Structure 1
Amino acid sequence: MPEITWEEPYCAEGSACYRIGVDGGGNSYIAIAGREDAYLTDSADALRQLIRDIKAGKADHLLAD
């Protein structure tokens, strides 16, 4: 597992909390807070766009368990 530095969780009202992280190789990560061992990794630009889409309500169906 890469050495990931996680930011403080981002928690939206009524939904799960997410954390963004980076490693020394320039990769970016996103995970549900408390479940950082099950993360998604991609370029920083791709994850920024994913977060923008989620905040804009375009991906609400992806967040349901």
Structure 2
Amino acid sequence: MNSDITWEDPYCAEGNNCFRIGTDTTGNAYIAVTGQEDTPLTDTHEALRTLILEIKAGKADHLL
């Protein structure tokens, strides 16, 4: 696991579907399933911000 990542507290939905969001000091953002932080998805802060805003706007509702 990248020790430079600062992880937020886990976010858990129904059924224990938990994930964590993290950031590092070089501008990267991370998303990982809780307990699997050693294999996160990695992208920029801006990409993570865009993803969250699009989800909040309902653009991923068809996946639910």
The TM-score normalised by the length of structure 1 is 0.69
Matches within 5 A, 1:16-55: 16-52=17-53, 53=55
Give me the CA root mean square deviation. 2.6
Higher helix share: 2
Once residues 15 and 47 of structure 2 are traced to their aligned partners in structure 1, the CA distance between those partners, rounded to angstroms, is: 25
Taking only the aligned residue pairs, the percentage that are identical comes to: 53
Which has the larger Rg?
2
Residue 57 (structure 1) shift: 7.3
Name the structure, 1 or 2, with higher relative contact order (CA <8 Å, separation 6+). 2
Once residues 17 and 24 of structure 1 are traced to their aligned partners in structure 2, the CA distance between those partners, rounded to angstroms, is: 24
Q: Given residue 40 of structure 1, which amino acid in structure 2 is its aligned partner?
A: L
Once residues 47 and 4 of structure 1 are traced to their aligned partners in structure 2, the CA distance between those partners, rounded to angstroms, is: 15
1:58 match: 60
The gaps in structure 1 that reach 5 residues or longer are none
Moved over 6 A (4+): none
